[in-house]
Amino acid sequence: MSALLYQPRADFFKTLGHPARIRVLELLAEREHAVSEMLPEVGVEPAHLSQQLAVLRRANLVVTRKEGSTVHYSLASPRVAELLRVAREILSGVLADQARLLGDLRAEQQTPAPPPRAGH
């Protein structure tokens, strides 16, 4: 296994590994947003949002457009929105499987154990 092949992909997924960044990307999948519009939606301090946006810019996941003193962000590619959609589908499937397993375990707990067989 060559780290040179896999490191860029690992770095890419690390970039996605923060809840605020995921929320920003979800907002931008809907439409372009100014920073001031994202603040209440992301629920972090302005400095923290600025840091997260910088990480996304460095990773080329978002682009900016300046209008006067306002900076607007948008996704660098519509494929980012597609990636988020696929991730939600995968996670939904995993959670659905876990919910079924939990239901099976709970049903098993409610079923009385058979009485011990004589002589055993």
3 state DSSP class of 48: helix
The pLDDT tens digits of the residues spanning 8-66 come to 999 999 999 999 999 999 999 999 999 999 999 999 999 999 999 999 999 999 999 99
CATH 1.10.10.10 for domain 3-110, yes or no, is yes
Domains of the chain: which residue ranges? 3-110
The pLDDT tens digits of the residues spanning 105-118 come to 888 888 776 777 77
The pLDDT tens digits of the residues spanning 79-90 come to 999 999 999 999
Cα gap 76→24, rounded to integer Å: 13
Q: pTM for this one?
A: 0.78
